[in-house]
Amino acid sequence: MGVMAVDTSLRNGNSGAPPLGDRLRVLLVAPPMLAVPPPSYAGTERVVHAIGEELHRRGHHVALVASGDSDVPYEHIPTVAESLWSTGYVGDVTGYMQHTVEVAWREAHRFDIVHAHIEAHGIVFAAHCETPVVSTLHGRLDVVGMPLLLEAHRDVPLVAISESQRRWFPDQRWIATIHHGLPLEGMPFSDVPGDYLAFVGRVATEKGLREAIELSRLTGVRLRAAAKVHDDTERRLYRELVVPAVDEGAIEFLGEVGPDERDPLYAGALATVMLGGWPEPFGLVAIESMATGTPVIARRAGALTETVEHGVTGFLVDDVAEATLAVDRVRDLDRRAIRERTLERFSPARMVDEYEAVYRALIAERRAASAAGAVGTSPRA
């Protein structure tokens, strides 16, 4: 099935189905690896937190399925007692993700809509749950097994986080493409370009740390990196790449840091660099940096072509040689305009406006189908 257009009139119940009312009952489902909100570097959990906070602020009944150490001002339904990565766990998470589905499925009947953020694990859940389930996919869709799963469930409603993410699967039931939003107003701001390049992310080949170090060497602009080292592959790359670069003074490595250190790092930089060759499904680092006024120099790949506006909020490059030209020109960008543009484009209010429209459309559709006798019996009923 193709794209289902979301009619914003459905926010007011103008759908032909019985009025939905202003207050929705929304069940959010997060992975068990990190708490919500996460203590430091994370993507999915920060977005889930932003959605939940804004829905709660608007007066909706919100509940969250997440690890037991999560801390939210609304109903919390725990899965594991402690988030897996906080305990040092680095093994396979499949069983824990399936347990998360089990918990969410058990609670789903109490809600109007389930909003899953658990990648492939939400798809079969959505195919059989009597309560409508919409999945926001946060990762790449070309990973092993994912294309086959998507092909088998083309009627399951999905939300993409960028046009780039969904482009290889045009026949899926994409309800919307919704760019992330975060509460960025409190980010520190500097209108004076700094004297270093910033890198925030993971010590992983796809994140472009090697290219960032090369850029620093070519331009003579020092690199400061706040990066997570978690699994064996990242530890090996840290030993092979980062340790020698630190020894020669090419990089100042800060390790994994929380927002109190990360945000001033962004604000004080000349630019934040994102030079990995892999197609970022979204790239929260970009909007965080731009919210401080600091432009982004990014590889022209994936969703960064949608979040970074070339020549306005940063530069899009094809290789490290082009990145050196960007470093020469980046001081000319208007940092105050970068911040203002970012706060406008990537707010939680804008994001949740769009998700509310999705929720209401799917709820109305399910009600209409139920009234027509078209909804089958769930195997869990």
Kindly write down the DSSP assignment for every residue of 313-324, as one continuous string: TEEEESSHHHHH
Angle at 204 between CA 186 and CA 30, to 5 degrees: 55
Token code pair at residue 70 = 């999560």
d(CA 140, CA 186): 30
The answer on pLDDT for 381 being more than 50 is no
The answer on pLDDT for 6 being more than 70 is no
Model pLDDT for residues 300-321, shown as the tens digit of each residue: 999 999 999 999 999 999 999 9
Query: At the top level of CATH, which class does the domain 196-343 belong to?
Result: alpha beta
pLDDT category of residue 380 using cuts at 50, 70 and 90: very low
Strand partners, 314: 296, 310
Token code pair at residue 197 = 């390049």
Token code pair at residue 65 = 């399925």
Report the range of poorest mean pLDDT among 36-40, 74-78, 322-326: 36-40
CB contact at 8 A, 260 and 41: no
| Residues 221-260: b if buried by 16+ CB within 10 A, e if exposed | bebbbbbbbeeeebeebbeebbeebeeeebbebbebbebe
Which helix (H) or strand (E) segment holds residue 45: the answer is helix 44-57
Q: Does domain 8-182+347-371 correspond to CATH entry 2.140.10.10? A: no
Quick one: pLDDT at residue 21? Answer: 66
Q: Where would I find the beta strands (DSSP E) of the chain?
A: 25-29, 61-66, 75-78, 113-116, 133-136, 157-160, 173-177, 196-202, 222-228, 251-253, 271-274, 296-299, 314-317
Model pLDDT for residues 123-138, shown as the tens digit of each residue: 999 999 999 999 999 9
The amino acid at 70: S
Model pLDDT for residues 181-225, shown as the tens digit of each residue: 999 999 999 999 999 999 998 888 889 999 999 999 999 999 999
d(CA 202, CA 57): 32
Its pTM stands at 0.88
- Pinpoint the residues of the chain covered by CATH 3.40.50.2000: 8-182+347-371, 196-343
